[in-house]
Structures are given as C-alpha cells and as structure tokens.
Structure 1
Amino acid sequence: MAYVLGLTGGIASGKSTVADILRSQGAFIIDADQVARQVVAPETLGLQRVISVFGRSYLQADGSLDRKKLGAYVFANKKALEQLNMLLQSLIQAEILQQLQAAQERDERLIVLEIPLLFEYHYEKYCDAVLVVNVPYEVQCERLMQRDDISLAAAQNKIAQQMSAEKRVALADKVIDNTSSLENMKTQVLKYLKNII
C-alpha cells in the first residue's frame, strides 16, 4: 500500500530541495509546477484558455506561453492571478490525480505530491500526511530576490499572494525548518522518513 505524502511550503522555502532528498530515497514525486507547465504546452486546451482570456501577446515566437511575462503580470494583479488559477486548476488537478492513481497502481512505496497551493486547493485529502517546509520571512524574501532576480517589493508581493506561513504551519503534520544548512535539512527529512515508512 503506497504512502502518500503532501509536500508544500511558501515560495522559495526549499520544497524542491526536499523533493530531491525524498527522490534520492526512492520516492516517486508528482510535481505540480511541472504539471502546470504541461497543461499550457503548445496546442493544449490550457494554452487555448489562457490566450482566450489574456491575449496572444503572451505567446512566444515558437507558439509557447511566455511564462515569465504572464507571471510578472499576474503576480502584480491579484484578480488576474485568481482568473489564471480558475482557468487551469481543473486541468492541473485532473493530471495530478491521474498520475497519483497510476503510481498507486504501480504500487510505489512512497508517493510525494509536491504542490505549492496544496492546502488552498485541498489536496491534503489525498494525503496520509503533509510535510511543510518553512523559513523565516526575511530569509524567504532574500532567497526569492536572489532566485528570481527581483526587487524586495516584488518578492514581498509574490509571498503575499500565498497562504501565510503561520496558517500553513498550523495545518502541517510535520514542519521542516530550512533556516540553516542543507545538511541540517537533510537530517530532518531522513529522520521523518524513518518514522513513516
């Protein structure tokens, strides 16, 4: 029987790093960000939906979605972000659940749902437990500015679009603190894994 672990955390908190650690231990990862890219690939229903609402100016020369341009627009415009989520969430959810079912049928021992908006879209109901990666706000801003090469105001705005860290932590079954070193985080993850599988 597969164990389904939800993995979430704020933007730039270190979810992908935790997912890599879990993958190295044999976990099968279903990555919502990857699925979100899949559903807006050229000639998909998702891309048609996005272009019909936001316009062809968000297409690149090769017909693919200009994710950077669209991202900059929606993160500066809460209504547009909500609209984009509404257009794509049903497609993303259908694909995630399809991958989950296939992994369960293959009898994967540990399946990880790596989903930034896990609680917002209630994926916790498909999980045996939820792991939240957490960092202090200042560290999160710093890492996001560095990662995306953006200003402090832009980083704060992106963070503000998500559920608060306090609320996420309160809903978690286990919290991984990613304030210090990678080694420290790896120790926490491996210790937690021993308890669940």
Structure 2
Amino acid sequence: MKKIAITGGVATGKTTLLHLIKELGFPIFSCDEVVKSLYLQPEITRKIFGLFKTLDKKEILKKILENEKTRKALEEILHPLVKEELVKFSKTCEQKGEKAVFVEVPLLFECGWEDMFDEVWVVFCSKKTQEDRIRTKSSYPDLMLKLANLQLPLEEKAKKANRVFSSEKPIEVLREEIKAILKEFQ
C-alpha cells in the first residue's frame, strides 16, 4: 500500500486536494481533523489548559507565535497522538487491501515525518493568493499570516516534493489532473 503525504502552507489548498481525492474513492486522513478531535478530549484539554491557562484558540495561537518553547510544548502533547491515530488508520487501510492512502500533514517537513511516506505531494499557490485566502477565510488573519511565515517556505516544500499541484487552477482542472494521476493507484 502506498502512503502519500499532502502538505503545503496555511490556506494553500491542501484540504481541497484531499477532498477531491476522497470524491474519487480513496481513503483520506487529515491531521488537522485529528487535532480538532483531540481538543474535545478532557484529558488533552486539561494538559493544554495547564500549559496556556486558557482554552481560547486565539489566545493559544498568540502564545505559540510569541514563544517557541510553548509551541514545542503544545506539539509534544499533540503530535504523538496524531501519529498514533495515523498509524492505526494506515494499518486498518492495509488490512482492507487499499492500494493507497492520502494523508494531509500540514507540518510534514517541520515535524520530520516525510520518511513515513512513499510520496510527498505539495499544494502550492503564490504568496499573494495565500495571504488573500488567509485574510478572507481566517477569524484571526494577522495571527494566521504570522503562523504561515513561521513554516518552511512553500518553495522549499515544493523542492522536496514528488509532485506539486497549483491550487490557483480552476477546481475542475485540478479534479481532472488528480483523476489522471490516481489511475496509477487503482
């Protein structure tokens, strides 16, 4: 079974690509969705509250942007649990006889997880498009722009990828591109 990581920056179109793949019948996994579910678990929220003295997402985001040690401490709480869920998902898919799984990992290179995958696909867009999307979609655009700038630059991610997809194309064009590529996994 092939494991393909999908990565990119904040608001570059990773989730859009992931959903197109799901539409075509392939199993998908989103690290962001796992993190959201972890925030609902009492044991995890206690740890996060202990670290930040709040559960307000905007306040937590401010604190991790201000202090690398705090950001690392949050990652130490969340990342092992996300990885554990990912391993379970992969095993289940393998047992079902799936030919490929697609995993959205926003911080793939930053976490050093690239060796867990057979291929890395990067979803790319211009800096201007990324900033416009953040300003339009985010509840905290200024903070999300800072977060985007903390991550490995998109150009660097693209250099490390097996495939690069532009999310600035019309969705129909991207869908056809993905459909053609996914034939090799059927």
**Same fold by TM (over 0.5)?**
yes
Moved more, 85-94 or 27-36: 85-94
| C-alpha deviation, 1:145, in angstroms | 0.8
Aligned counterpart, 1:62 = none
Q: What is the CA deviation profile of residues 71-126 of structure 1, one whole-angstrom value per residue up to 9, with x for unaligned ones?
A: 34424544432321122211221121122112212222321111101122233222
Q: Distance in 2 between matches of 1:138 and 1:43?
A: 39
Q: Distance in 2 between matches of 1:68 and 1:35?
A: 19
The answer (yes or no) to whether the contact 1:30–1:100 under 8 Å persists in 2 is: no
Aligned counterpart, 2:96 = 106
| Gapped regions of structure 2 (runs ≥ 5) | none
Is the partner of 1:116 in helix, strand or coil? Answer: coil
Q: Residue 167 of structure 2 is aligned with which of 169, 175, 178?
A: 178
**1:28 to 2:27 alignment:** yes
**1:157 to 2:146 alignment:** yes
The answer (yes or no) to whether the contact 1:76–1:157 under 8 Å persists in 2 is: no
Q: Distance in 1 between matches of 2:125 and 2:7?
A: 12
| C-alpha deviation, 1:17, in angstroms | 0.6
Q: 1:155 to 1:90 in 2, by over 3 A?
A: closer
Is the partner of 1:184 in helix, strand or coil? Answer: helix
| C-alpha deviation, 1:162, in angstroms | 1.0
Aligned counterpart, 1:123 = 113
Q: Residue 67 of structure 1 is aligned with which of 45, 57, 60?
A: 57
| C-alpha deviation, 1:177, in angstroms | 0.8
Aligned counterpart, 2:72 = 82
Percent identical among aligned pairs is 22
The answer (yes or no) to whether the contact 2:6–2:103 under 8 Å persists in 1 is: yes
TM-score (norm 2): 0.89
**1:144 to 2:143 alignment:** no
Q: CA RMSD in A?
A: 1.9
TM-score (norm 1): 0.85
| Gapped regions of structure 1 (runs ≥ 5) | 59-65
Moved more, 75-84 or 102-111: 75-84
Aligned counterpart, 1:43 = 42
The answer (yes or no) to whether the contact 2:3–2:119 under 8 Å persists in 1 is: yes
Q: Distance in 1 between matches of 2:70 and 2:175?
A: 37
The answer (yes or no) to whether the contact 2:29–2:103 under 8 Å persists in 1 is: yes
The answer (yes or no) to whether the contact 1:27–1:111 under 8 Å persists in 2 is: yes
The answer (yes or no) to whether the contact 1:7–1:114 under 8 Å persists in 2 is: yes
The answer (yes or no) to whether the contact 1:12–1:143 under 8 Å persists in 2 is: yes
Q: Distance in 2 between matches of 1:187 and 1:68?
A: 37
The answer (yes or no) to whether the contact 1:5–1:131 under 8 Å persists in 2 is: yes
The answer (yes or no) to whether the contact 1:176–1:189 under 8 Å persists in 2 is: no
Q: Distance in 2 between matches of 1:97 and 1:162?
A: 24
Number of residue-to-residue matches in the alignment: 186
Is the partner of 1:120 in helix, strand or coil? Answer: helix
